[in-house]
Amino acid sequence: MTDAPSKPVFVLVRPQMGENIGASARAMLNFGLDRMRLVDPRDGWPNPRAVAMASGAAGRVLDHAGVFPGVAEAIADCQMVFATTARGRELSKPVMTPEAAMRQARALIGQGARVAVLFGPERTGLENADLEGAGALISVPVNPEFPSLNLGQAVLLSAYEWSRAGFDGPEVVAGPGTEMATGLERDHLARHFEDDLERVGYFFPETKAEGMKANLRQMWGRLGLTRQDVQTLHGALRQLARRRDGDA
């Protein structure tokens, strides 16, 4: 893995309006952030309305934005993912303010982790399936009678808190074996578990199988697994499979 970047990546999931993508780029650059990824933008990419709204220097954020078909691909190289949402209260994940989340992001990046922040589409926000790979949720304490934020506003708040957190060095020095697992590594572990559990008939009845798998994937996202943890669990599963197959 190459050296981890010193800033988080902001991931706009299924953004609908080019103007909001451009506004998000401006908000990011206002506070020194320039790493944007787009997941399946509704109107395709590149988008001239996004470029017009970004105006000037912020256009470089769009020039280097990566485009991905799904959330899993966009966060595959990230060890920690925060997801901004007013939904998902039924998910067993920590819920943080933007201030607390960006402080934690600073600390994790100081330890060498790759960090992503997810932002949902304008009309619906992130879906529960989008949240499965997140380790924590970000909820803005706004008026409960009108909790909706524009995409650009949500990006601005998080970027501002990132800047305000300020950071001169890592708060914790990472020791051997503490490098956090990436989203791709957690996904491989989840698939390994699901395949083994499928073989022994764990996902029963069939009508509940998808919900059971979703619960497991949410668990992997919030556990904060290290790469060593993932390797250990893969090894344990392989050993259990050998014992099972040998006893059969």
Mean pLDDT of 99-119: 95
User: What's the pTM value of the predicted model, to 2 decimals?
Assistant: 0.76
Mean pLDDT of 199-218: 88
Report the distance separating Cα 18 and Cα 46, nearest Å: 9
Q: What is the band of 90 on the pLDDT scale with cuts at 50, 70, 90?
A: low
Q: What is the band of 52 on the pLDDT scale with cuts at 50, 70, 90?
A: very high
Q: Which superfamily, per CATH, for 9-165?
A: SPOUT methyltransferase, trefoil knot domain (3.40.1280.10)
pLDDT tens per residue across span 63-81:
999 999 999 999 999 999 9
| Helix, strand or coil, per DSSP, at residue 54 | helix
Q: What is the band of 247 on the pLDDT scale with cuts at 50, 70, 90?
A: low
Q: Higher model confidence: residue 71 or residue 208? A: 71
Nearest 5°: phi and psi at 84? -85, 125
Report the distance separating Cα 171 and Cα 168, nearest Å: 9
Domain borders along the chain are 9-165, 183-247
> In the structure encoding, which two tokens stand for residue 6, read together?
């010193």
Q: Output the CA angle 65-170-167, nearest 5 degrees.
A: 65
CA of residue 158 relative to chain centroid, distance: 14
Mean pLDDT of 49-62: 92
Q: What is the band of 219 on the pLDDT scale with cuts at 50, 70, 90?
A: confident
pLDDT tens per residue across span 167-188:
444 444 456 667 888 889 989 9
What is the per-residue pLDDT for 82? 97
